[in-house]
Structure 1
Amino acid sequence: MKILQEKIESRLKDAKGTWSVSIEDLNEGTSFSLNENELYYAASIIKVPIMAAVFTAADEGGIRLGDRLTLRRDDIVGGSGVLQFMTPGIELPIYDLLTLMIIQSDNTATNMLIDLIGMEKIQAVMCGTGMERSEIHHKLMIVQANRLNSNEISASDVTALLTRMARGQCVSMHASEQMVRIMKQQQLSNGFIDNLPKITSPIIGAIPDWEFAGKTGNVDGIMHECALLYVRGRCIAVTVLSKGCPEDEARALIAQIGNDVYSYAR
């Protein structure tokens, strides 16, 4: 871990903007962090604890993941996602809304789930799953004229949540398995897997060299990525948060960090 730490610190020493990193090796029990308690605007990383809150509500019996929610015209917001292009009145299972929220970062699906669970419940789940500094205050893509606070996260909080998932300690073993399964279907990346080897094999059903269960977050001046990286039986929880760095430079740095973590895990 020391060599990995030195590599990442060297890369970020002269980087533009502000950066935070939190890494935990679940197999070895070692970790590295840099500015891990710095608070950042959460962007779409907030969707990971929202997912945990929905699974908590299902575990407690308040909802069922197969229950259907109706898409209303008032639910539709812009930004990421496909639901904004769908016809109001369609019904989708909660599980499908969770999947869209994570793998396509669908903002409309996110807001529907926030309305379903409630801000207070989501905040309580965040605190209960290790996200003690992070806060949720508003829905996505809706700018309130009197907004006083923003959704905020720290790298250490996000890694704590990911670590609980990987250990089967987030809500329940079954819920953790389902959440990781959803995150492994991720269709978006802010660079973390850009420099990793291509997964190709002539053998059908071959076990891949690596797997990635992640979530991105980005708005103007913000670029985040968090992930569980599985490499040859090992699992590394990684959170990289940045603000004030040009997008192309931020993506390149996240890609370098991703490759550093992969090389360490091998």
Structure 2
Amino acid sequence: MEQRITTLIQESPYNVHLFIKNLTTNQLLISHQLETSFSSASLIKVPILLALLSYIEKNKLSLNSTLTISPTDWVDFSVISEQRLTQSTFYDLLLWMIITSDNTATNVLIDVVGMEYLNDYFQHIGLQDTLLQRKMMDVERLAKGIDNRTSARDMAHLYTQIYQQELLTPPYNKLVIDILSRQRIHDSLKRYLVEDVRLAHKTGGLDTVDHDVGIFYTNAVDYSMGVFITNVTDNDQARQLIGRLSKVVYDQLVKRKGEKDEGYRYSHDC
């Protein structure tokens, strides 16, 4: 598995950051450029999700509380904007922020607590390289080089904590996994998987980056995997690479183990 992954990375024209972790044994299996930070794109929305749920918990707010949305909040690539919504619940905004990567929902939620609160929370949960410096679709700040950042190391740490359900109270920990499992964008890590595997994940993409990171729940083993590609010139080609890397890992950790187990049972049944 490691050799095949190394070859795919070396053959890629892009810059690849990667981690693969066995969550059942808490063992980091493979990593590449773990500590180098890069543009997070929409990956930043997952720690925002956790921060907002922590805020809701601490302030004893209801997920069904309604927030006002100003028309000035509407931005592109948003089902909130498409519907011209002027109010929504915490729950719906959190859900849309993840499952369709809704930018309006994200910006409204950022305004609830502010960037300083969010960055403090990121540090509090052990994220060393994750920083929110602009709202979604703020192309002016992005043009000035002011961007949101993270690293493969931070994403590995974050998804381990999500898997272990140790950041929030039990109902909210389960809610995080449920929301991530309802992701509607499946053109990267699940791209070449035939099986209906459960994946709790989040994608992120800009013109020059493509990312996908999440937790695979399988009968053989639970594992997390993140592939983060920068210097991209062809987004679909980058997503194909993520899909190929993911299939190598899935075939090794899940399919081969399943085949060995079937062979063991067959030989003993005979």
Instruction: Find the counterpart in structure 1 of residue 38 from structure 2.
Output: 40
**In 1: Cα distance, 2:126 partner to 2:224 partner:** 14
Q: 1:249 aligns with which of 237, 244, 248?
A: 237
Instruction: Find the counterpart in structure 2 of residue 205 from structure 1.
Output: none
Which ranges of 4 or more aligned residues in structure 1 deviate by more than 3 Å? 144-148
**In 2: Cα distance, 1:171 partner to 1:6 partner:** 38
**In 1: Cα distance, 2:12 partner to 2:57 partner:** 43
Q: Does residue 211 of structure 1 match 2:209?
A: no
**In 1: Cα distance, 2:4 partner to 2:169 partner:** 35
Aligned length: 251
Instruction: Find the counterpart in structure 1 of residue 223 from structure 2.
Output: 236
Instruction: Find the counterpart in structure 1 of residue 11 from structure 2.
Output: 14
Structure 2 gap ranges (5+):
255-270
**In 2: Cα distance, 1:167 partner to 1:198 partner:** 25
Q: Secondary structure at the match of 1:259?
A: helix
- Of 224-233 and 58-67, deviating more is 58-67
Offset, 1:148: 5.9
| Structure with bigger gyration radius | 2
Task: State the Cα RMSD in Å.
Answer: 1.7
Q: 1:135 aligns with which of 131, 134, 140?
A: 131
Q: Does residue 162 of structure 1 match 2:150?
A: no
**In 2: Cα distance, 1:62 partner to 1:156 partner:** 32
1:164/1:74 Cα in 2 relative to 1: closer, same or farther (>3 Å)? same
Assess if the C-alpha contact under 8 Å between 1:161 and 1:170 holds in 2: no
For 1:1-266, list aligned pairs within 5 A. 4-31=1-28, 32-61=30-59, 63-78=61-76, 80-89=77-86, 91-144=87-140, 149-199=146-196, 210-232=197-219, 234-245=221-232, 246-266=234-254
Q: Quick one: which amino acid aligns to residue 75 of structure 1?
A: D
- Same amino acid, percent of matched pairs: 26
Offset, 1:198: 3.8
Q: Quick one: which amino acid aligns to residue 106 of structure 2?
A: T
**In 1: Cα distance, 2:216 partner to 2:126 partner:** 20
**In 2: Cα distance, 1:193 partner to 1:256 partner:** 9
Instruction: Find the counterpart in structure 2 of residue 207 from structure 1.
Output: none
Q: Secondary structure at the match of 2:226?
A: strand
Q: Secondary structure at the match of 1:11?
A: helix
Offset, 1:157: 0.3
Assess if the C-alpha contact under 8 Å between 1:190 and 1:224 holds in 2: no
- Of 42-51 and 139-148, deviating more is 139-148
Q: Quick one: which amino acid aligns to residue 64 of structure 1?
A: S
Offset, 1:235: 1.5
**In 2: Cα distance, 1:164 partner to 1:241 partner:** 19
**In 1: Cα distance, 2:100 partner to 2:145 partner:** 28
**In 1: Cα distance, 2:89 partner to 2:199 partner:** 25
Offset, 1:189: 2.6
Q: Quick one: which amino acid aligns to residue 111 of structure 1?
A: N
Offset, 1:61: 1.7
Offset, 1:63: 3.4
- Tell me the TM-score normalised to structure 1 length: 0.89
Instruction: Find the counterpart in structure 1 of residue 262 from structure 2.
Output: none
Assess if the C-alpha contact under 8 Å between 1:212 and 1:228 holds in 2: yes
Offset, 1:62: 5.6
Instruction: Find the counterpart in structure 1 of residue 266 from structure 2.
Output: none
Structure 1 gap ranges (5+):
200-209
**In 2: Cα distance, 1:254 partner to 1:37 partner:** 19
Q: What whole-Å deviation, never above 9, does each CA across 1:149-200 have from its counterpart, x for those lacking one?
A: 310010110121111010011223332211010010000134110111243x
